[in-house]
């Protein structure tokens, strides 16, 4: 797995997690007054409408919550 992080100012960070050649998870992390809000999506075309979300005071926990939410949605709506 490879992770690439792009930072856009103080308010936005985009992480791309390359799981394998055909599966990527993209997480957008926003800084908000209460902590961090994250939105996760993946590269599968049949999951284009799915977006996991997470909110927490800790950035990494926010990311984990968003990814876990995305995986839950992927299980509920298999391609």
Compute the distance between CA of residue 75 and CA of residue 29 in angstroms, rounded to an integer.
Answer: 23
Q: Where are the chain's structural domains?
A: 2-76
Identify which of 42, 50, 33, 34 has the alpha carbon closest to the alpha carbon of residue 15.
42
Yes or no: say if 37 and 30 are a contact pair by the CB < 8 Å rule. Answer: yes
Inform me whether the pLDDT recorded for 59 exceeds 90.
yes
Inform me whether the pLDDT recorded for 46 exceeds 70.
no
Identify which of 69, 74, 57 has the alpha carbon closest to the alpha carbon of residue 27.
69
pTM of the model: 0.88
């Amino acid at each position: 797995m490879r992770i690439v992080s792009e930072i856009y100012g103080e308010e936005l960070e985009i992480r791309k997690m390359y799981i394998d050649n055909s599966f990527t998870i993209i997480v957008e992390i926003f800084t908000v007054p209460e902590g961090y809000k994250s939105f996760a999506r993946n590269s599968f075309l049949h999951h284009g409408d799915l977006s996991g979300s997470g909110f927490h005071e800790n950035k990494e926990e926010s990311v984990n919550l968003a990814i876990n939410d995305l995986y839950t949605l992927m299980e509920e709506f298999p391609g």
